[in-house]
C-alpha cells in the first residue's frame, strides 16, 4: 500500500494557488492509488521552533544522554522525519517568497535534515526510492526562457536539499503569473488549465 505525504505551506488557505493545485494532486493521487493512505502536514498549523542549542544537543548526541529539554526540542523533528520515512510519494505546495521559499518551509527542512536519521554520517541520503513533486506558485514568470528564470532559487534549493537526504526523483510544477489573478487579469481556472496535465501525470506516475 502506497503512502502520500502532502505538505502545505501557504498562509492564504482558501485563496492559495499552491493549496488548490495541491488539492488537485491529492485527488488524482487518490484515484491512482485507491488503497493508499495520505498524511497531511500543514506547516501553517505546525509549531516549528527555530533550531536552538537544545535541538542541536538532542540531534547530535545519543538518546540516552538527552535532557528533558533536548527530548522536547527534537520531538517535532522526530515526528516530521517519521512521516517522511512512511511516505512513498511526497508533494509540497508552496509559494515563492523573494525568489526562494517561505520561512516555515525552511524551518521544516531544518528539522528533517538529520544526521543519522535522514542522512548518514558519511553524508549519504537515507530516504532513497521516494518521489517528490514540488508545486511552486510564483507571482511572476519564472518558466524556462522567461526573463526571471535564473532568479528562481526556490527550485534549485529544494532539489539540492531533498537530494542530500536521498530524494532525487524530483519534479517541479511551476504555477507562474499568479499576480494576474489578484489583478483581475485571469482566473485560477484559466491559470490552472495548462498546468493540470503535468500535475495529473505527476500524481499518477
Q: Which residues are annotated as part of the binding site for FMN?
A: 10, 16-18, 96-99
Q: Distance between CA atoms of 205 and 92, rounded to whole angstroms?
A: 16
Grid coordinates standing for 201?
501525470
Q: Which residues of 91-105 are buried (b: 16+ CB within 10 A; e: fewer)?
A: bbbbbbeeebbbebb
Which residues sit in the known binding site? Answer: 10, 16-18, 96-99
Grid coordinates standing for 134?
514540488
Residues 6+ apart with CB under 8 A from 86: 3, 5, 39
Q: Distance between CA atoms of 169 and 133, rounded to whole angstroms?
A: 8
Amino acid at each position: 500500500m502506497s503512502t502520500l505525504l502532502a505538505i502545505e505551506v501557504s498562509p492564504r488557505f482558501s485563496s492559495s494557488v499552491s493549496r488548490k493545485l495541491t488539492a488537485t494532486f491529492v485527488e488524482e493521487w487518490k484515484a491512482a492509488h485507491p488503497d493508499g493512505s495520505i498524511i497531511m502536514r500543514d506547516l501553517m498549523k505546525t509549531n516549528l521552533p527555530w533550531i536552538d542549542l537544545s535541538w542541536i544537543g538532542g540531534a547530535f548526541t545519543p538518546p540516552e544522554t538527552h535532557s528533558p529539554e533536548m527530548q522536547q526540542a527534537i520531538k517535532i523533528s522526530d515526528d516530521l522525519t517519521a512521516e517522511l520515512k512512511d511516505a512513498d510519494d511526497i508533494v509540497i505546495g508552496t509559494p515563492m517568497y523573494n525568489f526562494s521559499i517561505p520561512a516555515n518551509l525552511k524551518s521544516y527542512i531544518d528539522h528533517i535534515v538529520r544526521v543519522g536519521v535522514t542522512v548518514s554520517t558519511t553524508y549519504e541520503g537515507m530516504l532513497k526510492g521516494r518521489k517528490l513533486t514540488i508545486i511552486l506558485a510564483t507571482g511572476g514568470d519564472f518558466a524556462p526562457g522567461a526573463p526571471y528564470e535564473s532568479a528562481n532559487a526556490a527550485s534549485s534549493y529544494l532539489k539540492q536539499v531533498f537530494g542530500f537526504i536521498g530524494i532525487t526523483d524530483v519534479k517541479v510544477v511551476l504555477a507562474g503569473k499568479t499576480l494576474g489573478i489578484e489583478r483581475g487579469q485571469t482566473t485560477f481556472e484559466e491559470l490552472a488549465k495548462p498546468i493540470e496535465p503535468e500535475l495529473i501525470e505527476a500524481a499518477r506516475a
